[in-house]
Amino acid sequence: MHGGGPKVVAGKPLDSAYIEENLDLLRNGLCNLEAHIKNALRFGVPVVVAINSFATDTEAEIELVRKAAIEAGAEDAVVSTHWMEGGAGAVKLAEAVVAAAEKPSNFQFLYPLDIPIKEKIEIICKEIYGADGVDYLPEAEEKIETYTRLGFDKLPICMAKTHLSLSHDPNLKGVPKGFRVPIRDIRASVGAGFLYPLLGTMRTMPGLPTRPVFYDVDLDLETGRVVGLF
């Protein structure tokens, strides 16, 4: 998709562009993979790329991805076929991860933890996503003031955004430029130790209680009605 391929919709058959060999389409989209590798390297740790290979992937396509990953700075790029072979299909990938983990590393945040919340967010948006800047909605502005007053401004940031783009917009593919990131809200996971801004229309999933309420959902066999939903 990052190379200009048609949209993939869950539950619908894949377009032929993704089933038949198409090196040009794949090559055009490799810029996104390369950006992710370079971003990960900025944290001071080695990178291993898992090539999640399926039955319709050709050897030429796999080799194109592998070569691009290595050239972008990955320690290794390994084919994984766990979808077909279970754990056995991921052994070589696991070995590559172990080998990378045993190499020297120097993990570091992108920013000092003691700088203001907005500065942390803007460093991430500009240096990792490639954005021109950041826009804060009123609710986000209020949360920043509150968290700063409570002393939570020293926490690291975990951005909540779409996985379909380097940006906040799932429709912006490849390595987009010329966009600004809207911060709709900012929430705190104080126990876990981070703040998480919500980018654009990003939604969050509710956490489950210790005893999930689905235990109380049942079927009344006499009436056929579902009970316990309300």
pLDDT tens profile 82-124: 999 999 999 999 999 999 999 999 999 899 999 999 999 999 9
- pLDDT given for residue 65 in this prediction: 98
Residue 92 sits in the same domain as residue 129:
no
pLDDT of the residue at 122 = 97
20 and 85 co-located in one domain: yes
pLDDT at 171 over 80: yes
Pairing assessment for the beta strands 226-227 and 218-219 based on DSSP bridges:
antiparallel
Does residue 204 register a pLDDT over 90?
A: no
Cβ proximity of 76 and 48 under 8 Å: yes
- Give the mean pLDDT of 20-39: 97
pLDDT at 159 over 80: yes
Range of the domain at 29: 16-101
- Rounded to 5 degrees, what are φ and ψ at 87? -60, -35
pLDDT 10s digits, 43-91: 999 999 999 998 899 999 999 999 999 999 999 999 999 999 999 999 9
Of 16, 13, 18, give the one whose Cα is nearest residue 2.
18
Which tokens in the block code for residue 82? 């766990």
C-alpha 195/C-alpha 151 separation (Å) is 12
Distance, CA of 177 to CA of 163 (rounded, Å): 17
Rounded-to-integer distance, Cα 19 and Cα 13, Å: 10
- Mark whether 189 and 136 lie in a shared domain: yes
Of all residues in the chain, the percent with pLDDT exceeding 90 is 85
Q: Is residue 42 part of a domain?
A: yes
| DSSP 8-state assignment for residue 77 | E
Q: How many domains does the chain have?
A: 2
Are 26 and 59 within 8 A, CB to CB?
Answer: no
Does the global pTM surpass 0.95? no
Looking at residue 165, its pLDDT comes to 96
CA distance 91 to 115: 42
Residue 183 sits in a domain of what CATH number? 3.10.410.10
How far is residue 156's CA from residue 196's CA, in Å, rounded to a whole number? 9
CA distance 2 to 29: 4
Residue 141 lies in a domain: yes
Within a domain: 41: yes
Of 121, 145, 135, the residue nearest 197 (C-alpha): 121
